[in-house]
Amino acid sequence: MHQRAGLLAHESDLVDLEKLTSSYFDVSPDVAIAEQRVAFGTSGHRGSSLNGSFNENHILAITQAIVEYRTAQGFNGPIYVGRDTHALSEPAQQSVLEVLAGNGLVALIDSNDRYTPTPAISVAIIDHNGQLPRGSDAVADGIVITPSHNPPQDGGIKYNPPHGGPADSDATNWIAKRANEIISNGMQAVKRATPNARKFDFLNNYVSQLDQVLKLDSIRNADVRIGADPMGGASVDYWGAIADRFRLNLQVINPNVDYRFGFMTLDWDGKIRMDCSSPHAMASLIDNKSSFDISTGNDADADRHGIVTADSGLMNPNHFLAASIHYLFGERDGWDENAAVGKTMVSSSIIDKVVSSLGRKLIEVPVGFKWFVSGLSDGSIGFGGEESAGASFLRRNGQAWSTDKDGLIMCLLAAEIEAVTSKSPSELYADLTRIHGEPSYRRVDAPATLEQKSTLSKLSANEVSATTLAGESISNIETHASSGGALGGVKVSTQNAWFAARPSGTENVYKIYGESFKGDQHLEQVLAEAQSLVDSVISSR
């Protein structure tokens, strides 16, 4: 833990914006170096211009590859393009628009040349395509320029196909491979022209429909006091608009944009990171929790949520997921009675218990929101959520809303729960633990080389020879989700505990997720044995 974790950043912690921007244009990546290749993780390609992993050639090549991909797929409608508030997002958007113009495609950008949350782009894509006649090839898709909650020196770009959610691995693997080929061949395939993007009112399109998703009248009538912190991100204009349109008792905390994010408190490792699930990054909201009934935070593209209650402080993302599922499936009478709940393999098992008590089907998937897209599109999944504070759910009538993570509706849902039940989400979760037990859950990172990460991602169940974990017999070893799809790691379960390990897509570490229904001390034993077990396996191959 860094000695200044949770404290305001110093001037020395802030990125040099001039150097960051000049490096975007001046540094040419060498795709023979693994760290400088285009690589799509669970949420697009990310990197920094300072180390040659997010530069102009990357974005030009990725955009050209997306153009070629969508052409091959027969997608002939416009492309919705948005950016967040990271410094590199502005020049990257310019690069994207140049390539789209060079290929003669219609690009739609924010009407005020401001910032666009990921869910606003998802909703715009779905709305556009829902109005097309059956069989039309004028389907729209989108490009979101964001590295999510990553530090200020990072940039990112992701592609959302016509379903509005994250692209699947077939698409991203094709795009990444083609982009690297383009860079290797001297960028000759890239077509560029002066941008000619058209304007689209993302904010009004999104905000005007929120009452189809949430019981905003109930929030207003209960006069729930909400403090919404955009954390300097793309939701900065949206929260004020939401408050005004629906007459909510909502105060926008820190409505400023600073590309260096100098107002942030440092995360656990001393870095500036807009992680709204981190108690260190959310320290300012936690310290002032009594000022509001519900305080909320969003990351830079507003696809994640952080919930602070006056009675309990920052909620563990798993706890809020469990409370949200319990509440929604008891309140949304417009949803199909067979609508399922989606969770990732590394989310808390208390969700399994809550879903079982509701008599609903549970669909467990690998890490990545892309696994929920199909179900959220057709209404067969009512709610899909990840342990990393990302989730979305259906409109009140059971139709699709955002098929990508939506941090804004999750924050507003916390206020709706308070308004309708007269209990905070943390109080509702406490009720659930009295019924189902109280789990201890934590994620830790362990160092790993690129080779060790590759080994872990390809691990098979029979390579784990252990028979016990923290004093209990191992009952299950999984490398794939029950619904299909590889975890890219391993999950080991006992009667009262489990751990899962998978490599990070952006850092030289692997992540260990662990949970125990036997308390914190048992969890620590689970995590320690998990790291020892995984280290022995990936080091011996």
pLDDT in tens, 7-41: 999 999 999 999 999 999 999 999 999 899 999 98
Q: Which helix (H) or strand (E) holds 522?
A: helix 520-540
pLDDT in tens, 314-369: 999 999 999 999 999 999 999 999 999 999 999 999 999 999 999 999 999 999 99
Q: Which amino acid, residue 365?
A: V
What would the mean pLDDT of 279-288 be, rounded to a whole number?
Answer: 96
Alpha-helix residue ranges (DSSP H) falling in 159-287: 169-184, 202-207, 216-222, 238-246, 283-287
Which has the closest alpha carbon to 315: 438, 426, 466? 426
3-state secondary structure of 252: strand
Q: What is the pLDDT of residue 506?
A: 65
pLDDT in tens, 118-173: 999 999 999 999 999 999 999 999 999 999 999 999 999 999 999 999 999 999 99
Cβ-based neighbour number of residue 11 at 10 Å? 7
Under a CB-based contact definition with an 8 Å cutoff, are residues 243 and 227 in contact? no
d(CA 425, CA 418): 7
d(CA 96, CA 59): 7
Q: How confident is the model at residue 541 (pLDDT cuts 50, 70, 90)?
A: low
Please list, in sequence order, all residues whose beta carbon lies within 8 angstroms of the beta carbon of residue 29, skipping any fewer than 6 positions away. 36, 37, 52, 53, 55, 57, 58, 183
Under a CB-based contact definition with an 8 Å cutoff, are residues 144 and 82 in contact? yes
Q: What is the pLDDT of residue 117?
A: 98
Q: Any idea what DSSP says for residue 223? A: T
Q: Which amino acid, residue 511?
A: K
Alpha-helix residue ranges (DSSP H) falling in 316-406: 317-331, 350-358, 373-378
Distance in angstroms between the alpha carbons of the first and the last residue of the chain: 31
pLDDT in tens, 455-486: 999 989 988 989 999 999 999 999 999 888 89
Q: Which class for 107: exposed (0-12), middle (13-18), buried (19 or more C-beta within 10 A)?
A: buried
Strand partners, 305: 298
Please list, in sequence order, all residues whose beta carbon lies within 8 angstroms of the beta carbon of residue 296, skipping any fewer than 6 positions away. 226, 227, 228, 229, 276, 285, 305, 306, 307, 308, 411, 414
Phi, psi of 468 (to 5 degrees): -135, 155
- Structural domains present in the chain: 16-204 (3.40.120.10), 440-539 (3.30.310.50)
CA dihedral 412→414→417→419, nearest 10 degrees, is -60
Cβ-based neighbour number of residue 338 at 10 Å? 10
Indicate if the pLDDT at residue 505 is higher than 80.
Answer: no
Indicate if the pLDDT at residue 450 is higher than 90.
Answer: no
Which has the closest alpha carbon to 304: 399, 224, 392? 392
Q: How confident is the model at residue 537 (pLDDT cuts 50, 70, 90)?
A: confident
pLDDT in tens, 521-535: 999 999 999 999 999
Which has the closest alpha carbon to 347: 405, 388, 289, 406? 388
Under a CB-based contact definition with an 8 Å cutoff, are residues 458 and 510 in contact? no
Under a CB-based contact definition with an 8 Å cutoff, are residues 212 and 393 in contact? no
d(CA 209, CA 213): 7
Q: In what order do the strands lie in the sheet with 497-503?
A: 440-447, 509-516, 497-503, 486-493, 476-480
Show which residues are catalytic. 148
